[in-house]
Amino acid sequence: MNTQLQHQWNLNKMEAIELQRNLAQKVITEDRLDPILHVAGIDVAYSKNTDTVIAGIVILEFDSLKVVESVVFEDTVRFPYIPGLFSFRELPPIIKAFEKINTIPQLIVCDGQGIAHPRRFGLACHLGILYDIPTIGCGKTKLIGNFTEPDSYRGASSPLVDKHEIIGNVLRTQKNINPIFVSIGHRISLTTSCELILKLSPNFRLPETTRQADQLVKKTMSFHNHYFSE
């Protein structure tokens, strides 16, 4: 699976911010979806002791939520830790991991933000633009915005608002469990994004895409740390 758009990654902070502002204009916030057969979850783990980063992709069958493929790619961190610019730190190894997959997904769920971002261009938007594929941002915590707590039942939601603009939904995926933060990545509406996240979260707070990808990178990083500590 190859990117449809390419740009330089060796950028300084101001260059990266300017690129985000330019690419944000390309984000499509309405449904332009193909039938979903497979959905991808992505996650990244960082070594505590080295500059190693591990990107993982898990491909699930959309109807059954069974894992059909998983890949990892080990790399070196090349971009500093700057809030709001995580995609420049995490996408290079994620792109390398995508080059290894055989099953092409029709949707990608990111453990991070979409347009719920200061420049309306979080990691999910960046990834969606690069591959021209529908993406959803699904964060465990918020980056920006204000909200009122949604009702306690599964499926309850409330808008996430920044500067009088709705940038996402605070979605309760399980009854009486802390909500998650859903935002548009690319080629999908907020309503559809929330419907799909609920479908992907039948039993737990986080969607299966995120849970499976998180387990994959943590297991791989644990093996890496053990190997290099011997």
- Per-residue pLDDT tens for 10-26? 999 999 999 999 999 99
pLDDT of 229 over the 70 cut: no
Instruction: Please check whether residue 28 lies inside any domain of the structure.
Output: yes
Confidence of residue 224 (pLDDT cuts 50, 70, 90): low
pLDDT of residue 222: 84
Instruction: Please check whether residue 1 lies inside any domain of the structure.
Output: no
Which structure tokens are listed for 185? Answer: 């990545």
Instruction: Please check whether residue 4 lies inside any domain of the structure.
Output: no
Instruction: Please check whether residue 5 lies inside any domain of the structure.
Output: no
CB 28 within 8 A of CB 189: no
Question: Averaged over 130-158, what is the pLDDT?
Answer: 97
Among 5-9, 121-125, 142-146, whose mean pLDDT is lowest? Answer: 5-9
Kindly give the residue spans of alpha helices, DSSP state H, lying in the chain: 13-24, 86-98, 123-131, 190-199, 208-229
Q: What is the mean pLDDT of the chain?
A: 95
Which structure tokens are listed for 132? Answer: 């021209």
CA 42 to chain centre: 6
Q: How many domains are there within the chain?
A: 1
CA 90 to chain centre: 10
pLDDT of residue 10: 93
Q: How far is CA 119 from CA 19, 161, 218, in A?
A: 10, 14, 30
pLDDT of residue 48: 85
Which structure tokens are listed for 150? Answer: 């949604």
Instruction: Please check whether residue 157 lies inside any domain of the structure.
Output: yes
pLDDT above 90 covers a percentage of the chain that reads: 90
Q: Is the pTM of this model over 0.85?
A: yes
pLDDT of 230 over the 70 cut: no
For residue range 151-165, what is the model confidence (pLDDT) as tens digits? 999 999 999 999 999
Instruction: Please check whether residue 145 lies inside any domain of the structure.
Output: yes
Kindly give the residue spans of alpha helices, DSSP state H, lying in 72-159: 86-98, 123-131
Q: Rounded to an integer, what distance in angstroms lies between the CA atom of residue 168 and that of residue 152?
A: 18
Can you give the residue range of the structural domain that contains 45? 13-229
Instruction: Please check whether residue 162 lies inside any domain of the structure.
Output: yes
pLDDT of 105 over the 90 cut: yes
CATH number at residue 166: 3.30.2170.10
CB 50 within 8 A of CB 228: yes
pLDDT of residue 49: 83
pLDDT of residue 225: 67
Q: Give φ, ψ of 159 to 5 degrees.
A: -70, 145
For residue range 165-218, what is the model confidence (pLDDT) as tens digits? 999 999 999 999 999 999 999 999 999 999 999 999 999 999 999 999 999 999
pLDDT of residue 4: 87
Instruction: Please check whether residue 8 lies inside any domain of the structure.
Output: no
pLDDT of residue 36: 98
